[in-house]
Amino acid sequence: MSKLKHLAIILDGNRRWAKEKGLPVFKGHGAGYERIKDVCRWCIKRDIEILTVYAFSTENWNRSKEEVKYLMILLNKAFSDDIEELNNLGIKVNIIGSRDKISPTIKKNIEKIEEKTKNNKKIVLNICFNYGGRLEIIEAVKDIIMEGTKPEEVSEELISNHIWFKGQPDPDLVIRTSGEQRLSGFLTWTSVYSELYFPRCYWPDFDEKELDKTIAEFEKRNRRFGGD
Q: Which of 47, 60, 87, 212 is catalytic?
A: 60
User: Which CATH number is associated with domain 6-132+170-217?
Assistant: 3.40.1180.10
Mean pLDDT of all residues belonging to the chain: 94
CA distances from 127 to 48, 141, 152, 221, 226 (A): 16, 22, 34, 26, 29
Alpha carbons 221 and 193: distance in angstroms, whole number? 12
**Structure-model confidence comparison of residues 113 and 1, the more confident one:** 113
Alpha carbon 167 to its chain's center: 16
pLDDT at 225 over 60: yes
The model's pLDDT over 85-119, given as tens digits with 9 standing for 90+, comes to 999 999 999 999 999 989 999 999 999 999 999 99
8 forms beta bridges with 52, 174
User: Is the overall model pTM greater than 0.75, yes or no?
Assistant: yes
Q: Report the residue count for the chain.
A: 228
Output the pLDDT for position 77. 85
Angle of helix 65-79 relative to helix 104-117, nearest 10 degrees, comes to 30
% of residues, the chain, pLDDT over 90? 90
What mean pLDDT do residues 53-60 have? Answer: 95
Output the pLDDT for position 131. 98
Tell me if residue 47 is catalytic.
no
Strand, coil or helix: 5: coil
Instruction: Compute the Cα dihedral for 185, 187, 192, 193 and give only its sign.
Output: negative
Note whether 98 and 24 are within 8 A (CB). no
Residue 175: band (very low, low, confident or very high) from pLDDT cuts 50, 70, 90: very high
Residue 228: band (very low, low, confident or very high) from pLDDT cuts 50, 70, 90: low
Alpha carbons 124 and 94: distance in angstroms, whole number? 7
Structural domain boundaries in the chain: 6-132+170-217
Alpha carbons 215 and 39: distance in angstroms, whole number? 13
Output the pLDDT for position 223. 73
Output the pLDDT for position 226. 64
Tell me if residue 76 is catalytic.
no
What mean pLDDT do residues 49-57 have? Answer: 97
CA distances from 227 to 83, 193, 199, 224 (A): 43, 12, 29, 7
pLDDT at 1 over 70: no
Alpha carbons 162 and 182: distance in angstroms, whole number? 25
- Residue 227 identity: G
The model's pLDDT over 8-19, given as tens digits with 9 standing for 90+, comes to 999 999 999 999
Output the pLDDT for position 224. 74
Strand, coil or helix: 207: coil
81-95 b/e with 16+ CB inside 10 Å = b?
A: ebbeebbebebbbbb
195 φ, ψ (degrees, to nearest 5): -75, 150
pLDDT at 78 over 80: yes
The model's pLDDT over 120-171, given as tens digits with 9 standing for 90+, comes to 999 999 999 999 999 999 999 999 999 999 999 999 999 999 999 999 999 9
The model's pLDDT over 183-218, given as tens digits with 9 standing for 90+, comes to 999 999 999 999 999 999 999 999 999 999 999 999
